[in-house]
């Protein structure tokens, strides 16, 4: 509860701050402080110290899982603001508003971590995405940014419509918006398990959530939007927001899809989505010339891996998605932090970075290795848990093989960046690099390796 | 034939989903009616296209210029803000109806709601969105 | 308080990090102090642990969960008991002396290389401590690989010399073969028992079938063969002498090569259950002892002689383990560490004095110029030859008695091996230190006693080599077997029962004295300087050329493998694999270009695709049973 309310309040503070604080540079400090407060408040909440206690009538459900994810999301945002916060002020005069929007997004993220009702799911998704439409278009003078915002908005509203329709159908089938449904008294059962309407509703919900997490074949918005949006905001959208989408998704799967799994083979549908996502993400990323666009496709490919947790809804999947969120968010934030400092976003722009900025190149290598899932980085265990979860289910084992093959493909395009940085001659131009920025990158790289060596550091929180 | 399950479901047994039957029928009927009418008028109606007929009707005055004249962006801003605050009022209707039953807790919640909007309003004024001249 | 044990490996690790990271900016003095100091601190803590563990139960210190997947758990834990503490003392104690010695021996190096040397040495000590401290086979394996790596790095320390690199590679590859056996044993244990922790494995040992036990113990022994240089994997050790001499003393004599002994002593309850494996260990050990002993007789490189002697002594240790005298094997590790480290360091001192010369045919009469080195070396020779009441006498004597009780045949072979030991050692002693000098005039002029940093470790080790055995003096000579008693909670001692033991001891004592006297005069006569011959013929040549084992390996293993690899490279890889891989690459590239076209940038088409996909989803959903049926029919 703390996180939801405090993030909204802090958003308002940032909003009012836009005309109360004179120095533009101060906003990111206020924002970082706010995220720190959120983080502490959320941890306190985890151990039962809630500032706000009131009956939410089952609209929200506070579980260890939600708290832990929320902590990871807030922590990642904190890191994000710390190392790229400076770049946010680059776009226009509305720095404070941008931060306010980020806090509104956090409010939506927290809501998704705790939702227990389709209405709160809808609210969370909308609170989370509407600010993103604005952030996408925040570079007002850039046509690409405007185009991306409009595209995102149009397609986002389309998927919102589908989601609402899904919720309505589901309501029609069960008579409740709550996630937990007692199906005892419901007539017209399909395959003796669930109402036919509910299943149609769930299928539509699945489609709209697949859209939000950019799973193929509903991914079309992703490359255009990620490419068009200002890089700093792409970083935010591709990491924390996407992870939140997955948390919302897995919760729906854990409750609703599991309950209706006897009526419909969700596994098959997810298998189709996973294959399509891995295929589109990895194959298309291979041929990109711009690192930013490659990252957009790679984020689709990574989503393919995260989808495994929805496929195999078990304890491993739950642990795995948390680990994946942390690993993926940290690495991607790091890569984007380096990216925004580059003058040229193409692969050629990275040529010879290792000579000019050895630390940037080294940490960037760690991030890329983590995304590729090389052992001793966080990404390895994240992928490992995902695949182990599938193995645990005992069916569709060929999916694991396919996934490993695609992971091998992904190594190709991640290593292209490393190759450019280390083995090609060139004059990679960067903006001015401050020591604190370097320190931030080092911290992120250290965290990635720490998680890669000892994943228990995150997962143990789930249990004590 | 699985697609008809949805109808069989609703027809065969009483219960909550069968309540949707009239709606479903109405939906199909409405859509069908509209489609039929449009199609019929298109096919049956006589067509005589002359240049006069294809001209925009402007009460007899000759057209000149483009109808899509640029308008001050402020106009849209004010209009949208108006809609926003207008919609806010809609929430007062259900509250007014249930004023007694909701008691003090309801009162505080609506105060919170209004306060949130008020902050938004202050923000709008302070950031100069309502200033016509700048 | 228990977790103080984690400090023991921590200090060398810190030393490694400091020396390794700052090697360019550290002065030689600083690097030496950091390197030696780290090991000294570990030694002090080991001494504390030793006094603490005496007569107490061992305990396990859990640091963190290393691997934790579902029900499968391997923790990063240290086992502190009598056996591991004893090895801690040997490693850190002798390690410290050798570090000190190195500060003088490596003085000529440039500072960065000097610090690199100490960084490697510290890393080695860290890995070795990990090896003996680990509470399960996995941690032991980590240390095991670590020491292998350090050994590789240190053998190839002078990496600008191609031969040295070749020797380093050879050591590494031989070790890898052994490691494979060890790894398979670990997998076997994990597969059958689901745990690798010693205590749990030993508790569950009765659930294993006889085949399992035999397979596991034999595979473990393969690992031990690699690391401890036993037949057939021993050939790397003599070549490993390419490294700096202190390294040979520390790694290739005192500590790393005894890791195999440690492993078997640690797993003694498993070996006790398998007759077959124990017999294999004993026979291989004895064969190695004799083979290496005969080769050592006609080697002319001072370090090679010592290397083959090490191989031979390791054979003795395995012989002891094989006949079930585990404590005796461990005891010989300790005494051997004393006198072999002593002799290697002495050899280092000699080489130092000779300006890098290692050929003993070019030495002679050094006792005049290097008195301290000479007399400490002589003590080493006496100890290894089993001169009564030196440490080597007591340990080797006990091995022989244990073997005697097991089998008379093995006993007489073992006695033969012991005679060989004395023979090649006396030969070495005569040729190096006595008689007239045979080197160049320049070398003679250069001869000088080594600095104190080198002689003091020699003296300390000499004292240990002399009296170190008294902790295990047999009762026949009025002693008490403190050593066996100390180890008894972990490793059961072989009891020598009956009055015959005392009699045997006295026979052995007499036999040894007579034998040594004979050898003394024989070697003196045989290898007296005037009798020295430079070129060997016949059997001597066969022995001097090491039984042509290396050539045998080259002909039967290395060359066929190379040919096979060449075939794979030129035929299979170029046309088969490369074609396949490039084909896949081309296919991915092609499909990437095609899939990319879907991304048209038009919102309308995107939404059309989405709607189409949703339709397909619904179709799939309504026909899922048919599709599932269809799929199962296909696959």
Partners of C65 on chain A (C-beta within 8 Å) are 456
Q: Which residue of C has its CA nearest to B1?
A: C622
Q: Measured between beta carbons, which residues in chain A are less than 8 angstroms from residue C614? A: 162, 204, 207
List the Cα angle C490/C90/C386 in 5-degree steps.
95
Residues of chain B below pLDDT 50: 1, 4, 7-8, 10-14
Does A188 contact B126 at a Cβ distance shorter than 8 Å? no
CB–CB contacts below 8 A, A to C: 73
Burial zone of C277 (CB within 10 Å; 0-12 exposed, 13-18 middle, 19+ buried): buried
Nearest CA in chain B to A14: B123
- CB-based contact A175 B16, cutoff 8 Å: yes
**CA–CA distance from B106 to each of B90, B111, C47 (Å)?**
16, 9, 74
* A290: Cβ contacts below 8 Å, ≥ 6 apart: A227, A345, A346, A347
Give the number of other Cβ atoms within 10 Å of residue B107's Cβ.
Answer: 12
Query: What are the pLDDT digits (tens) for A66-94?
Result: 999 999 999 999 999 999 988 888 777 78
Average pLDDT of A28-43? Answer: 93
Is A264 in the B-facing interface, judged by CB distances under 8 Å?
no
φ, ψ at C224 (rounded to 5°): -65, -35
How far is the C-alpha of C612 from the C-alpha of C216, rounded, in Å? Answer: 60
Specify the range with the lowest mean pLDDT, choosing from C125-139, C328-342, C394-408, C514-528: C514-528
Considering the domain boundaries, does residue B131 fall inside one?
A: no
Q: Which two tokens stand for residue C76?
A: 């990063």
Q: Is residue A299 in a domain?
A: yes
The residue written with tokens 């088409």 in the block is C605
Contact residues of A toward C, CB < 8 A: 151, 154-155, 158, 162, 199, 203-204, 207, 211, 217-218, 220-221, 223-224, 264-265, 268-269, 272, 279-280, 283-287, 316, 388, 409, 412, 454, 456
Say yes or no: C479 and C603 in one domain: no
Give the residue numbers spanning the domain of A345. Answer: 265-464
Does the residue C227 lie in any domain? no
State the Cα–Cα distance between residues C575 and C585, nearest whole angstrom. Answer: 15
Least CB–CB distance from A284: residue in C68, C595, C609: C595
- Burial label for C571, CB within 10 Å (0-12, 13-18, 19+), is exposed
- Residue-level pLDDT at A337: 93
- Using the Cβ of C65 and the Cβ atoms of chain A, whether some distance falls under 8 Å is answered with yes
Q: What is the pLDDT of residues A19-31, one digit of tens each?
A: 888 887 788 899 9
Best A187, A198, A201, A263 residue to mutate vs chain B (most B CBs within 10 Å):
A187
Tens of pLDDT, residue by residue over C328-358, are: 888 898 899 898 889 988 998 888 888 878 8
Contact B80, B87 (CB under 8 A): no
Return mean pLDDT, chain A: 90
Give a yes or no: residue C8 inside a domain. no
Dist CA C366 CA C302 (whole Å): 14
pLDDT > 70 in chain C, percent: 94
Region C421-440: mean pLDDT is: 82
Q: What is the pLDDT of residue C490?
A: 79
* Residues B48 and B80 placed together within one structural domain of the fold: no
In the structure encoding, which two tokens stand for residue C366, read together? Answer: 């050094």
- DSSP annotation of C301 reads B
Judge whether C454 lies within some domain.
yes
CB of C22 closer than 8 Å to CB of C454 = no
A378 token code pair: 């966080």
A444 vs A56, residue with greater confidence: A444
Q: Give the 3-state secondary structure of C197-242.
A: EHHHHHHCHHHCCHHHHHHHHHHHHHHHHHHCCCCCCCCHHHHHHH
Which residues are CB-neighbours of C508 under 8 A, at least 6 positions away?
C397, C400, C401
Please give the average per-residue pLDDT across C434-444, as a whole number. Answer: 77
- pLDDT at residue C531 greater than cutoff 50: no
Q: Is C623 on the interface with A (CB under 8 A)?
A: no
Predicted model pTM: 0.62
pLDDT at A236: 94
Asked if the model's pLDDT at residue A461 lies above 60, the reply is: yes
pLDDT at C402 over 70: yes
C335 and C435 both lie in a single domain? yes
CATH number, residue B77 = 1.20.58.1610
The SS3 call for residue C523 is helix
Give the domain extent around B80.
73-126
The set of chains that have 3 or more CB pairs under 8 A with A is B, C
> Is B1 an interface residue toward C (CB < 8 Å)?
no
CA distances from C480 to A333, A427, C50, C394, C562 (A): 68, 76, 19, 12, 56
- Ramachandran region, residue A284 (left: φ > 0; alpha: ψ -120 to 50; beta: rest): alpha
* A422 assigned to some structural domain: yes
Nearest 10 degrees: CA dihedral of C157, C161, C165, C166? -150
Q: Which of A328, A298, A331 is nearest to A446 (CA)?
A: A331
Residue B65 placed within a domain = no
Q: Which of residues 176-205 of C touch A (CB under 8 A)?
A: none
What mean pLDDT is predicted for residues C487-498? 70
What are the b/e assignments for B50-79, b being 16+ CB within 10 Å? eeeeeeeeeeeeeeeeeeeeeeeeeeeeee
pLDDT for B12 equals 46
Confidence of residue C502 (pLDDT cuts 50, 70, 90): low
Residues in C 352-391 with any Cβ partner in B closer than 8 A: none
Chains in contact with C via at least 3 Cβ–Cβ pairs below 8 Å: A, B
Domain identity same for C607 and C534 = no
In eight-state DSSP terms, residue C494 is P
Assign C66 to helix, strand or coil: strand
Which position has the token pair 């309407």?
A197
Chains that touch B (3 or more CB pairs under 8 A): A, C
pLDDT at position C69, please?
67
Q: Is C535 helix (H, G, I), strand (E, B) or coil?
A: coil
Tally of domains in chain C:
2
Using the beta-carbon criterion (under 8 Å), do A173 and B17 form an inter-chain contact?
yes
Does any domain span residue C86? no
pLDDT of residue C532: 53
Helix (H, G, I), strand (E, B) or coil at C74: strand
Contact by Cβ (8 Å): C415, C385: no
C601 touching A (Cβ < 8 Å): yes
B2 touches chain C (CB under 8 A): yes
Q: What are phi and psi of A178, to 5 degrees?
A: -65, 155
Question: Which residue carries 């509203």 as its tokens?
Answer: A157
pLDDT-based confidence at A52, cuts 50/70/90? confident
Residues in chain A, total: 464
Q: Taking Cα atoms as reference points, which of C234, C286, C274, C518 lies closest to residue C403?
A: C286
**Has residue C529 been placed in a domain?**
yes
DSSP codes joined into one string, C129-186:
HHHHHBSBHHHHHHHHHHHHHHHHHHHTSSTTSHHHHHHHHHHHHHHHHHHHHHHHHH
pLDDT one-digit tens code per residue, A427-439: 888 888 889 899 9
Number of domains chain B is built from: 2
The domain containing residue C442 runs over which residues? 279-544
Cα–Cα distance, A50 to A62 (Å, whole number): 11
Looking at C493, C513, C544, the residue that finishes a domain is C544
CB-based burial label for C620 (10 Å; 0-12, 13-18, 19+): middle
For chain B, say whether C615 makes contact (Cβ under 8 Å).
no
The answer to whether A197 faces chain B, any CB pair under 8 Å, is yes
Within a domain: B22:
yes
Query: Is the minimum CB–CB distance between C564 and chain B shorter than 8 Å?
Result: no
Are residues C528 and C489 part of one domain? yes
DSSP letter assigned to residue C435: S
Q: Which residue has the tokens 């193929």?
A: A216
Same domain (yes/no): C439, C323: yes
Asked whether residue C556 falls in the same domain as residue C533, the answer is: no
User: Which of C527, C544, C561 corresponds to the end of one domain?
Assistant: C544
> By the CB < 8 Å criterion, does C617 face chain B?
no
Residue of chain A nearest B123, judged by CA positions: A16
pLDDT at C376 over 60: yes
CA A309 to chain centre: 14
Whether A14 and A81 have beta carbons less than 8 Å apart is answered as: no
| Cis bond upstream, residue A185 (ω within 30) | no
- Whether C603 and C539 map to the same domain: the answer is no
Instruction: Report which of C236, C218, C136, C158 is spatially closest to residue C182, judged by C-alpha positions.
Output: C218
Give which of C85, C37, C86 is closest to C59, Cα–Cα.
Answer: C85
pLDDT at A464: 64
> For A59-71, how does the pLDDT look when each residue is reduced to its tens digit (9 = 90+)?
999 999 999 999 9
* B6 lies in the same domain as B38: yes
Per-residue pLDDT, B57: 74
Give which of B2, B3, B8 to mutate to test C binding, by max C Cβ within 10 Å: B2
Tell me how far the alpha carbon of residue A287 is from its chain's centroid.
24
- The answer to whether residue B49 neighbours chain C at the CB level (below 8 Å) is no
C571 and C489 housed in the same domain: no
pLDDT at A67: 93
Does C136 fall in a domain?
Answer: no
Among candidate residues C493, C510, C544, the one where a domain is terminated: C544
Q: Does C623 touch chain B (CB under 8 A)?
A: yes
Whether B20 has its CB under 8 Å from any CB of chain A: the answer is yes
Q: Among A71-75, A188-192, A398-402, B58-62, where is mean pLDDT lowest? A: A188-192
Beta-carbon separation of C64 and A272 below 8 A: no
Domain-located, residue A317? yes
Tell me the per-residue pLDDT of A331-381, one tens digit each, with 9 for 90 and over: 999 999 999 999 888 988 899 898 888 899 999 999 999 999 888 899 998
Is residue C421 one of the residues assigned to a domain? yes
| Residue B3: HSE in the Cβ half-sphere, 13 Å Cα cutoff | 4
Closest CA to C353 of C341, C369, C342, C365: C369
Tokens of C608: 């059309």
Residue A247 lies in a domain: no
Average pLDDT over residues C563-578: 75
From chain B, the residues in CB contact with A196 under 8 A are 5-6, 9
Report the Cα A249 to chain-centroid distance in Å.
Answer: 12
Mean per-residue pLDDT, C266-272:
88
Q: Nearest CA to CA, how far is C603 from chain B (Å)?
A: 24
User: Is any Cβ of chain B less than 8 angstroms from the Cβ of C500?
Assistant: no
Are C497 and C525 in a shared domain? yes
Task: Work out the number of other CB atoms within 10 angstroms of the CB of residue C13.
Answer: 18
pLDDT in tens, A120-148: 999 999 999 999 999 999 988 889 999 99
Contact assessment for residue A136 and residue A30, using Cβ atoms and an 8 Å cutoff: no
- The total of structural domains in chain A comes to 1
Q: Does the residue C470 lie in any domain? A: yes
Closest Cα in chain C, distance from residue A285 (Å)? 8
Neighbours of C371 (CB within 10 A): 13
Structure confidence at residue B13 (pLDDT): 47
Residue of chain C whose alpha carbon sits nearest to that of B5: C622
C contacts of B3 (beta carbons < 8 Å): 622
Q: What is the mean pLDDT of residues A280-285?
A: 89
pLDDT of A321 > 90? The answer is: yes
Q: Inform me whether the pLDDT recorded for A463 exceeds 90.
A: no
CB contact (8 A) between residue A154 and residue C65: no
Q: Would A65 be classed as within a structural domain?
A: no
> For residues C459 and C379, what is the distance between their CA atoms, to the nearest angstrom?
10
Cβ burial of C336 (10 Å; 0-12, 13-18, 19+) is buried
Q: Does B127 touch chain A (CB under 8 A)?
A: yes
Contact between A462 and A385 (Cβ < 8 Å): no
Tokens of A262: 């006897």
3-state secondary structure string across chain A: CHHHHHHHHHHHHHHHHHHHCCCCCHHHHHHHHHHHHHHHHHHHHHCCCCCCCCCCCCCECCCHHHHHHHHHHHHHHHHHHHHHHHHHCCCCCCHHHHHHHHHHHHHHHHHHHHECEHHHHHHHHHHHHHHHHHHHCCCCCCHHHHHHHHHHHHHHHHHHHHHHHHHHHHHHHHCCCECCCCCCCCCCEECCCEEHHHHHHHHHHHHHHHHHCCCCCCCCHHHHHHHHCCHHHHHHHHHHHHHHHHHHHHHHHHHHHHHCCCCCCHHHHHHHHHHHHHHHHHHHHHCCCEHHHHHHHHHHHHHHHHHHHHHCCCHHHHHHHHHHHHHHHHHHHHHHHHHHHECCCEHHHHCCHHHHCHHHHHHHHHHHHHHHCCCCCHHHHHHHHHHHHHHHHCCCHHHHHHHHHHHHHHHHHHHHHHHHHHHCCCCCCECCCCHHHHHHHHHHHHHHHHHHHCCHHHHHHHCC
Average pLDDT over residues A167-185: 85
Q: Kindly determine whether residue C609 and residue A217, on different chains, have CB atoms separated by under 8 Å.
A: yes
Flag the least confident range among A230-239, C353-362, C419-428, C590-599: C590-599
The pLDDT value given to residue C496: 62
Would the pLDDT of A190 be above 70? no
Which residues of B are less than 8 Å from C623 in CB distance? 2
Q: Chain C residues with CB inside 8 Å of B2's CB?
A: 622-623
Residues of A in contact with B126 (CB under 8 A): 16, 19
Average pLDDT, chain C: 83
B119 CB within 8 Å of a chain A CB? yes
- Per-residue pLDDT of A218-242, as tens digits, reads 999 999 999 999 999 999 999 999 9
- Put simply, the answer to whether B6 touches A197 (Cβ < 8 Å) is yes
Q: Are A310 and A270 in contact (CB under 8 A)?
A: yes
* Choice among A181-195, C171-185, C438-452, C466-480 with the minimum mean pLDDT: A181-195
ipTM of the assembly?
A: 0.86
Q: Judge whether B28 lies within some domain.
A: yes
C333 and C411 fall within a common domain: yes
The verdict on B16 touching A (C-beta cutoff 8 Å) is: yes
Residue C436 has pLDDT above 80, yes or no: no
């Amino acid at each position: 509860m703390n996180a939801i309310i405090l993030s909204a309040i802090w958003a308002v503070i940032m909003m009012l701050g836009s005309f109360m604080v004179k120095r533009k540079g101060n906003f990111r400090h206020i924002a970082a402080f706010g995220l720190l407060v959120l983080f502490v408040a959320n941890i306190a909440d985890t151990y039962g110290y809630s500032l706000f206690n009131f009956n939410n009538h089952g609209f929200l459900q506070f579980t260890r899982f939600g708290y832990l994810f929320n902590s990871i999301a807030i922590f990642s945002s904190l890191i994000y603001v710390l190392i790229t916060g400076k770049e946010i002020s680059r776009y226009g005069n509305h720095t404070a508003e941008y931060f306010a929007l980020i806090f509104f997004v956090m409010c939506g993220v927290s809501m998704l971590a705790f939702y227990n009702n389709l209405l709160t799911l809808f609210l969370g998704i909308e609170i989370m995405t509407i600010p993103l439409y604005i952030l996408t278009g925040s570079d007002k003078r850039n046509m690409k940014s405007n185009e991306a915002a409009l595209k995102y908005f149009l397609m986002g509203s389309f998927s919102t419509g589908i989601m609402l329709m899904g919720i309505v159908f589901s309501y029609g089938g069960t008579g409740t918006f709550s996630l937990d449904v007692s199906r005892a008294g419901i007539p017209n059962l399909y395959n003796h398990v669930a109402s036919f309407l509910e299943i149609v509703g769930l299928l539509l919900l699945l489609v709209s959530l697949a859209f939000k997490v950019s799973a193929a074949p509903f991914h079309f918005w992703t490359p255009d939007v990620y490419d068009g949006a200002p890089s700093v905001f792409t970083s935010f959208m591709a990491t924390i927001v996407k992870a939140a989408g997955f948390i919302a998704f897995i919760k729906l799967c854990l409750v609703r899809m599991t309950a209706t799994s006897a009526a419909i083979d969700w596994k098959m549908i997810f298998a189709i989505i996973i294959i399509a996502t891995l295929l589109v993400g990895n194959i298309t990323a291979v041929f990109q010339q711009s690192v930013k666009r490659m990252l957009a496709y790679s984020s689709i490919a990574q989503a393919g891996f995260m989808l495994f947790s929805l496929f195999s809804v078990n304890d491993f999947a739950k642990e795995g998605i948390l680990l994946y969120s942390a690993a993926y968010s940290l690495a991607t934030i790091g890569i984007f932090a380096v990216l925004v400092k580059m003058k040229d976003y193409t692969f050629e722009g990275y040529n010879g970075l290792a000579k000019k900025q050895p630390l940037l190149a080294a940490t960037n290598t760690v991030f890329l290795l983590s995304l590729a899932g090389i052992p001793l980085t966080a990404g390895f265990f994240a992928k490992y848990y995902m695949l182990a979860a599938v193995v645990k289910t005992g069916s569709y084992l060929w999916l694991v093989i396919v996934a490993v093959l695609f992971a091998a493909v992904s190594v190709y395009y991640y290593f292209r960046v490393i190759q450019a940085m280390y083995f090609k001659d060139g004059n990679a131009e960067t903006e001015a690099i401050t020591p604190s920025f370097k320190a931030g990158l080092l911290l992120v790289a250290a965290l990635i390796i720490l998680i890669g060596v000892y994943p228990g550091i995150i997962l143990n929180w789930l249990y004590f | 034939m699985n697609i008809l399950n949805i109808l069989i479901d609703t027809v065969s047994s009483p219960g909550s989903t069968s309540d949707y039957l009239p709606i479903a029928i109405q939906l199909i009927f409405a859509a069908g009616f509209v489609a039929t009418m449009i199609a019929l008028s298109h096919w049956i109606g006589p067509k005589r296209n002359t240049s006069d007929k294809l001209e925009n009707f402007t009460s007899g005055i000759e057209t000149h210029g483009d109808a899509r004249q640029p308008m001050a962006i402020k106009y849209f801003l004010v209009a949208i803000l108006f809609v926003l605050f207008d919609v806010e009022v809609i929430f007062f209707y259900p509250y007014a109806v249930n004023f007694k039953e909701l008691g003090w807790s309801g009162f505080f919640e609506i105060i919170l709601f209004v306060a949130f909007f008020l902050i938004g309003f202050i923000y709008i004024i302070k950031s100069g969105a309502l200033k016509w001249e700048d | 308080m228990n977790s103080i044990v984690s400090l023991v490996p921590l200090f060398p690790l810190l030393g490694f990090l400091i020396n390794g990271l700052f090697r360019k900016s550290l002065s030689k003095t600083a690097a030496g102090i950091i390197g030696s100091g780290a090991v000294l601190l570990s030694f002090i803590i080991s001494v504390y642990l030793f006094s603490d563990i005496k007569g107490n139960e061992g305990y396990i210190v859990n640091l963190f969960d290393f691997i934790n997947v579902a029900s499968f758990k391997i923790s990063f834990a240290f086992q502190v008991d009598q056996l591991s503490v004893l090895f801690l003392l040997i490693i850190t104690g002798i390690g410290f002396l050798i570090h000190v010695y190195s500060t003088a021996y490596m003085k000529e190096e440039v500072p960065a290389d000097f610090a690199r040397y100490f960084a490697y040495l510290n890393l080695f000590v860290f890995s070795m401590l990990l090896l003996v401290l680990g509470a399960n086979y996995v941690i032991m394996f980590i240390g095991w690989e670590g020491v292998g790596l350090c050994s590789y790095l240190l053998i190839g320390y002078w990496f600008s010399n191609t031969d040295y690199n070749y020797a380093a590679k050879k050591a590494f590859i031989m070790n890898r073969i052994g490691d494979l056996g060890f790894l398979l044993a670990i997998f076997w244990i994990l597969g059958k028992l689901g745990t690798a922790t010693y205590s749990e494995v030993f508790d569950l040992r009765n659930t294993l079938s006889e085949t399992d036990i035999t397979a596991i113990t034999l595979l473990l022994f393969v690992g031990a063969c690699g690391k401890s240089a036993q037949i057939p994997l021993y050939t790397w050790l003599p070549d490993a002498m390419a490294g700096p001499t202190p390294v040979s003393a520390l790694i290739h004599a005192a500590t790393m090569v005894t890791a195999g002994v440690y492993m078997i002593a640690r797993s003694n309850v498993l070996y006790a259950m398998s007759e077959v494996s124990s017999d294999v260990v004993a026979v291989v050990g004895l064969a190695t002892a004799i083979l290496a002993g005969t080769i050592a007789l006609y080697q002319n490189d001072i370090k090679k002689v010592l290397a083959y002697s090490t191989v031979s002594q390791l054979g003795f240790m395995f012989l002891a383990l094989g006949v079930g005298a585990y404590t005796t094997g461990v005891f010989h590790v300790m005494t051997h560490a004393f006198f072999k480290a002593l002799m290697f360091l002495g050899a280092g001192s000699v080489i130092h004095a000779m300006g890098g010369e290692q050929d003993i045919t070019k030495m002679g009469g050094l006792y005049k110029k290097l008195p301290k080195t000479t007399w400490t070396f002589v003590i080493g020779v006496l100890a290894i030859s089993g001169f009564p009441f030196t440490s080597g006498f007591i340990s080797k004597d006990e091995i022989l008695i244990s073997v005697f009780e097991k089998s008379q045949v093995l006993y007489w072979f073992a006695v033969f091996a012991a005679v060989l030991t004395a023979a090649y050692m006396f030969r070495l002693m005569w040729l190096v230190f006595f008689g007239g000098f045979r080197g160049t005039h320049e070398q003679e002029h250069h001869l000088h006693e080594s600095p104190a940093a080198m002689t003091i470790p020699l003296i300390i080790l000499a004292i240990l080599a002399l009296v170190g055995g008294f902790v295990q003096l047999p009762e026949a000579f009025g002693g008490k077997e403190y050593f066996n008693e100390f180890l008894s909670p972990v490793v059961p001692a072989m009891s020598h029962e009956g009055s015959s033991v005392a009699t045997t001891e006295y026979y052995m004592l007499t036999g040894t004295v007579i034998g040594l006297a004979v050898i003394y005069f024989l070697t003196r006569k045989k290898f007296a300087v005037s009798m020295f011959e430079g070129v060997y013929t016949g059997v001597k040549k066969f022995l001097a050329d090491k039984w042509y084992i290396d050539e045998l390996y080259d002909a039967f293993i290395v060359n066929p493998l190379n040919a096979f690899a060449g075939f794979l490279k030129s035929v299979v890889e170029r046309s088969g694999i490369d074609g396949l891989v490039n084909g896949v690459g081309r296919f991915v590239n092609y499909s990437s270009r095609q899939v990319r076209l879907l991304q048209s940038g038009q919102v309308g088409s995107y939404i059309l695709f989405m709607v189409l996909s949703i339709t397909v989803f619904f179709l799939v959903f309504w026909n899922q049973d048919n599709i599932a049926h269809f799929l199962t029919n296909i696959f």
